Amino acid sequence: MAASNGILLDTGPLVGFLDASDQWHTWSAARFGELPSPMVTCEAVVSEAVYLLGGGAGANF
Protein backbone atom coordinates (compact mmCIF):
# COMPACT_ATOMS: atom_id res chain seq x y z
CA MET A 1 0.00 0.00 0.00
CA ALA A 2 1.38 3.38 -0.96
CA ALA A 3 1.81 6.01 1.73
CA SER A 4 -0.33 9.09 1.38
CA ASN A 5 0.41 12.60 2.49
CA GLY A 6 -2.13 14.26 4.69
CA ILE A 7 -2.98 15.50 8.14
CA LEU A 8 -4.43 13.02 10.63
CA LEU A 9 -7.28 14.79 12.38
CA ASP A 10 -8.12 13.89 15.99
CA THR A 11 -11.25 14.63 18.02
CA GLY A 12 -10.13 17.65 20.07
CA PRO A 13 -9.25 19.97 17.19
CA LEU A 14 -12.29 18.79 15.22
CA VAL A 15 -14.68 19.59 18.09
CA GLY A 16 -12.93 22.90 18.69
CA PHE A 17 -13.34 23.81 15.04
CA LEU A 18 -17.01 22.83 14.82
CA ASP A 19 -18.21 24.24 18.16
CA ALA A 20 -18.03 28.04 18.28
CA SER A 21 -18.56 27.95 22.06
CA ASP A 22 -15.57 25.65 22.64
CA GLN A 23 -12.62 27.26 24.44
CA TRP A 24 -10.32 26.11 21.61
CA HIS A 25 -12.53 27.25 18.71
CA THR A 26 -10.47 30.31 17.76
CA TRP A 27 -7.22 28.36 17.89
CA SER A 28 -8.65 25.42 15.94
CA ALA A 29 -10.18 27.63 13.26
CA ALA A 30 -6.86 29.42 12.78
CA ARG A 31 -4.90 26.16 12.55
CA PHE A 32 -7.35 24.61 10.08
CA GLY A 33 -6.74 27.56 7.78
CA GLU A 34 -2.99 26.90 7.87
CA LEU A 35 -3.01 23.15 7.25
CA PRO A 36 -2.59 21.57 3.83
CA SER A 37 -5.19 19.21 2.42
CA PRO A 38 -6.17 16.48 2.70
CA MET A 39 -7.17 16.01 6.31
CA VAL A 40 -8.11 12.44 7.16
CA THR A 41 -9.71 10.81 10.17
CA CYS A 42 -11.49 7.61 11.16
CA GLU A 43 -14.93 6.50 12.28
CA ALA A 44 -13.93 6.51 15.96
CA VAL A 45 -12.99 10.20 15.80
CA VAL A 46 -16.24 11.09 14.03
CA SER A 47 -18.25 9.08 16.57
CA GLU A 48 -16.52 10.72 19.54
CA ALA A 49 -16.93 14.19 18.03
CA VAL A 50 -20.67 13.64 17.50
CA TYR A 51 -21.00 12.49 21.10
CA LEU A 52 -19.07 15.48 22.46
CA LEU A 53 -21.05 17.90 20.31
CA GLY A 54 -24.25 16.61 21.89
CA GLY A 55 -25.45 14.43 19.07
CA GLY A 56 -27.16 11.23 19.98
CA ALA A 57 -29.43 8.77 18.29
CA GLY A 58 -31.47 10.64 15.74
CA ALA A 59 -29.25 13.74 15.71
CA ASN A 60 -29.43 15.67 12.46
CA PHE A 61 -26.00 16.83 11.35
Using CA atoms, how far apart are residues 33 and 2, in angstroms rounded to an integer? 27
Task: Give residue 56's pLDDT.
Answer: 59
Does this model's pTM top 0.85? My answer is no
Domain ranges of the chain: 9-41
pLDDT in single tens digits along all 61 residues of the chain: 455 678 899 999 999 999 999 999 999 999 998 988 889 999 999 999 999 998 655 555 5
